[in-house]
């Protein structure tokens, strides 16, 4: 689980880089929480690689960044 959470975090951060989101974890957490309508603490935890979002949230994130869920999850 920890490795997949880390892989997810790296890919999510890559998506945020691609959209020009500032590198500050605070700013990223705030922006991500607004983008997908989740609490800021949860977005921080996801960005730091401490947890992987639930399936419906994963789908929302993948759609937001127009990427494949399997890639985002680290399966591709």
pLDDT at 1 over 60: no
State the DSSP string of the chain: -HHHHHHHHHHHHHHHHHTT--S-HHHHHHHHHHHHT--HHHHHHHHTTS----HHHHHHHHHHHT--HHHHHT--
18-71 pLDDT, tens digit each: 999 999 999 999 999 999 999 999 999 999 999 998 889 999 999 999 999 999
Q: Say which residue, 25 or 1, is predicted with more confidence.
A: 25
Structural domain count of the chain: 1
Tokens for 62?
């993948």
Query: Residue 19 sits in which domain range?
Result: 2-73
Size of the chain in residues: 76
> Which CATH number characterizes residue 53's domain?
1.10.260.40
């Amino acid at each position: 689980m920890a490795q997949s959470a880390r892989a997810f975090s790296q890919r999510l951060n890559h998506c945020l880089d691609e959209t020009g989101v500032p590198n500050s974890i605070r700013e990223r957490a705030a922006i991500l929480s607004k983008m997908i309508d989740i609490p800021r603490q949860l977005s921080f935890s996801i960005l730091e690689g401490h947890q992987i979002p639930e399936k419906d949230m994963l789908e929302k994130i993948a759609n937001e960044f127009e990427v494949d869920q399997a890639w985002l999850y680290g399966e591709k």
